[in-house]
Structures are given as structure tokens and as C-alpha cells.
Amino acid sequence: MNYQFDFNFLQGNFGLLWDGLKVTLQLALVSNIVGLVLGFGLCLLTLSRWFFLRWPAQMFIEFFRCTPVLLQIVWFFYCVPMLFNVFIDPITMGVLALGLNLTAFNAEAYRAGVQAVPHEHLDASVALGR
């Protein structure tokens, strides 16, 4: 295979690429913050002993973990404005779609971490008054 890489198409387009990189980093940073914060709250809801708190949280997690993120982005960008007559900035919709997806994945990671703590550690912390 004697393929020669040709990057001549990049000449003069570095400004557009830089703008795209900035938008990508903004989306990643803000949606990760949203996912981390809301994921912890959703984790606490899934660990609740009350069914009416636990069930909607589990349904949210199952929905957002079992559908592809690209499908969620398309639904948020195209279907939410059509169905609910709500028109929001595309960057905000992207942050919302990615943030809710990351919320579901982080909630499951937090839940697994909380449930991985042995009961002996919890008993020891109660005995120490913590």
C-alpha cells in the first residue's frame, strides 16, 4: 500500500478548525460538569428505599444508557422543538443531550461504587461515631 497522505485541504482552514475545537471543548467541559453533578443526585435517588423515587430514576438511567447518544442529540435538536414548540440555542441543546447521557452513566458508576463498600466498613464507621 503506497498511500500518500495529502493535507493540503487544511491550508487556510485553521481558523475554522480552531473554532470547531473551541466549541467541542466547551461542550465536553460543560456536559461533563452537568453529568457529574446530576449523576450523583440521580445515584442517591436510585439507592432510595422508596419506590416512587427509585423507579423514575431507574427508568431515566435505562432510557439514556440504552439509546445511542447520537440519536439522543438528534432528538433533542430536531424533535423537542417540533413536539413541544420550545426553541433553544443549539449549543444549549447539545449540552443538555450530552449532559443527560453522561448523568445516566455517572449515576450507574456512583451507584456501583457506593454498593461496593463492604457492610463491615459501614458498621465500623457507625461504631466510631462517624
Task: Give residue limits of the domains in the chain.
Answer: 68-112
Q: Model confidence over 32-79: pLDDT tens digits?
A: 999 999 999 999 999 999 999 999 999 999 999 999 999 999 999 999
Check whether 12 has a pLDDT greater than 90.
no
- State the pLDDT at residue 6: 81
Check whether 129 has a pLDDT greater than 90.
no
Specify the pTM. Answer: 0.83
- State the pLDDT at residue 13: 81
The average pLDDT across 11-32 equals 92
Report the chain's C-alpha Rg in angstroms.
21
| 22 Cβ contact partners less than 8 Å away, ≥ 6 residues apart | none
- Of 130 and 90, the structure prediction assigns the larger pLDDT to 90
- State the pLDDT at residue 91: 92
Cα-based distances in Å from 84 to 37, 59, 67, 94, 121? 26, 21, 21, 17, 48
Q: Model confidence over 74-128: pLDDT tens digits?
A: 999 999 989 999 889 999 999 999 999 999 999 999 999 999 989 899 899 899 9
Q: Could you tell me which of 20, 34, 22 has the C-alpha nearest to residue 98?
A: 34
